[in-house]
Structure 1
Amino acid sequence: MLVHETKIRVYYDDTDKMGVVYYGNYPRYYEIGRSELIRSLGISYKEMEESGIMLPASSLKINYIKSSYYDDLLTVRTIIEKVPQVKFPIKTEIYNEKGELINEGETILAFFDEKTGKPCRAPKYFTDKVAEMI
């Protein structure tokens, strides 16, 4: 299992009038964690896209457990449990500063060849790097 943690500060524009993080911002936090995990592997999401490999989301599940608030420092824990093939399932857990789990979910991405317009296998350089870390 590959686990990566990213810290995210809750800014004013992430919240509603009551200072609570707007529920629609959690997928963005998931994406930040996912991008930073990929970067931690020495792979740039941007470079993958420039090489013609896209990663569109095919599914998103979210479980809201507790609220988070303006100025909280959140820990986004991004988890890959197995080496991806065509589908790329990623679990995410978000913790508050007290270490309490406040949100969890799963995003399933698909490796997609921009030239053919069809799903494809994950690039070997990507699967090799993930396999090293799991």
Structure 2
Amino acid sequence: MRKNPFKTFPDAPKPLSFSVTRRVRFEEVDALGIVWHGRYPSYFEDVREALGDRYGIGYLDFFREKVAAPLRQLHFEYLKPLSLRENFTIKAELHWSEAARINLTYEIINEKGELTTSGYSVQMMLDYPEKSVLMVPPPFFQAFLKRWQENFIPDDHHE
């Protein structure tokens, strides 16, 4: 992301990052041989899911705690196309927030090391199955935030 869309806090820990590497498949391209724009949400989701699993805040963790994390905002900035059979890396950074939300920024880097796409997402937290909006993070997420703030979470992992 050219500019971090999220508010930064002076005492906040540094963002947690994770990346995954993929290759553009035939089913992902349009008639021009470039990735169809509608595929990018799934690319962001690939790394979001991997990051969540890595740090103990994956979908199964949320389900187990009866918390839903629906998408509230999703933004993309397309800079260069990806082509059929091109390798690329998707990087996500989780940004600190004490609110009941998940703030992520994303970058997609092609095999030449060029930034092709950037974006961000915001997920809110709901009590499930009541679907009431949580105003503070649930206990399991508060425990995660505490570990993060105390530097008990390893960073910079790549799948």
The aligned counterpart of 2:102 is 88
Gaps of 5+ in 1: none
For 1:129 and 1:73, the matched residues in 2 are separated by 34
The aligned counterpart of 2:32 is 18
For 2:20 and 2:120, the matched residues in 1 are separated by 16
Question: Structure 1, residues 57-79: CA drift from partner, whole Å, max 9, x if none?
Answer: 00111100000011111111101
Q: Which residue identity is paired with 2:45? A: E
TM-score normalised according to structure 2 size:
0.76
Query: Deviation of residue 8 (structure 1)?
Result: 1.7
**Two-structure CA RMSD over aligned residues (Å):** 1.7
The aligned counterpart of 1:38 is 52
Q: Determine what percentage of the aligned residue pairs are the same residue.
A: 24
For the pair 1:128 / 2:146, whether they are aligned, the reply is yes
The aligned counterpart of 2:4 is none
For 1:113 and 1:88, the matched residues in 2 are separated by 15
For 1:19 and 1:26, the matched residues in 2 are separated by 15
Query: Deviation of residue 84 (structure 1)?
Result: 4.8
The aligned counterpart of 1:101 is 115
Gaps of 5+ in 2: 1-14
Larger Rg: 2
Question: Structure 1, residues 72-129: CA drift from partner, whole Å, max 9, x if none?
Answer: 1111110112145212211001000111000000111011111331122332233234
- Secondary structure, in 3 states, of the residue corresponding to 1:36? helix
